[in-house]
Amino acid sequence: MPQPTQSSVAPLPPAPSGNRFLNLLRRAGLLDWFLLGLAGVVLLAYLIPEVGSKASPIPWKVLTTAGVALIFFFYGLRLSLAKLTAGLRNWRLHVVVQLTTFVVFPVLALALRPLFVGQAAGMWPSVFFLCTLPSTVSTSVVMVSIARGNLPAAIFNASISSLLGIVLTPLWASLFLNTSAEGGNLWHLAIDLLWQVVLPVVVGVLLNGRFGGFAEQHKGSLRISDQVVILLIVFTAFCESFAEGIFRSYEPHDIALLALGMVVLYFLIFGLVWALSRLLGFSHADRTVALFCGSKKSLVHGSVMASLLFPGMAATGLLLLPLMLYHALQIILASMMAQHMGRQAEAAEVAAQLEA
């Protein structure tokens, strides 16, 4: 039987553009069960709020507290002091990223506060809380990698942002938000942060030389465990909010307007960082780091900080709502932008090689 020649074999059809986008999300590790899980736990909390509320016999507080400590322990376990020290050299880039994350975002929220009038006034604390949070770690690094940016600088900034957030997020919140729920005070909050967040991170960093390789080898499994803890925190927060009727005064169009506001916030920050990076003469690689690390907000840290800063607060679900919307939107928008910037960088490299 004659073998088919190369010309007689039908070429495989090109992958649809939709599949390319799905592949990009899979490559980023973002197209998994987690986003669906967030929607699922909110729906579950709406249907059975009594299961996750304070009246439930299940010790949710103990479970989430232990989960938070484990999240930050394994995060510290993957931090290398040598890499963080080496990353200090590119100080202008680091200043831009951290100032954007912890100064520009909160100041912008404060400047826009007069626009939150009437029913929308109750949303401003949630938006401000979002703006005080640190950047993401894995998502920022992956997007910078896709866009062909400065990967070591991305790792450094994402890591430093997470560590700074342990101090700066509670500081901003204590200045402009009521964090004294259930009679707690700043001293009790500091103790909670110390043993639930700071201490696990420090222990993890100290054990990095011995177990860091293990943590890197199993980072996929650790990420899943982090996501499970976040889902538990989100579930209990929304159960309490639904049980107390926090969302009864908000209509669907209010949520739609909030989502639109999150899109505007993302593009506003992205545009500001882009303009500043061009003004400072950053290279494509460094500009990519500034854009993707400076525009992200961490759902992991937000969920954890909400449970620590506002213990037992019935409106915690409302507090997390803008963050959840921003989290989903930043994944979609950043994925498309990173892909576009990566193609541009690749084309520029090819053109440079041809000229040489």
Q: What is the mean pLDDT of residues 239-266?
A: 81
pLDDT at 179: 60
Q: What is the mean pLDDT of residues 173-183?
A: 68
Q: What percent of the chain has pLDDT over 90?
A: 19
Task: Tell me the pLDDT band of 121, cut-offs 50, 70 and 90.
Answer: confident
What residue ranges define each of the domains in the chain, with the CATH number in brackets? Answer: 33-343 (1.20.1530.20)
List phi, psi (to 5°) of 336: -65, -40
Q: What is the mean pLDDT of residues 130-135?
A: 93
pLDDT at 188: 61
pLDDT at 112 over 60: yes
25, 31 Cβ separation under 8 angstroms: yes
Q: How far apart are the first and last CA of the chain?
A: 49
293-321 pLDDT, tens digit each:
999 998 878 877 887 777 656 566 778 88
Token pair of 342 as six digits: 């990566």
Q: Pick the more confident residue, 68 or 172.
A: 172
Q: Pick the more confident residue, 49 or 248.
A: 49
| Contacts of the segment 109-113: beta carbons below 8 A, 24+ positions apart | 110/176
pLDDT at 288: 93
pLDDT at 267: 93
Average pLDDT of the chain to the nearest whole number: 78
Contacts of 25 (CB under 8 A, 6+ apart): 31, 331, 335
Q: What percent of the chain has pLDDT over 70?
A: 80
Give, in order, the Cα–Cα distances in Å from 266 to each of 107, 130, 158, 292.
15, 12, 18, 11
16-72 pLDDT, tens digit each:
555 666 665 555 544 556 667 878 888 898 898 888 877 788 888 788 778 878 877
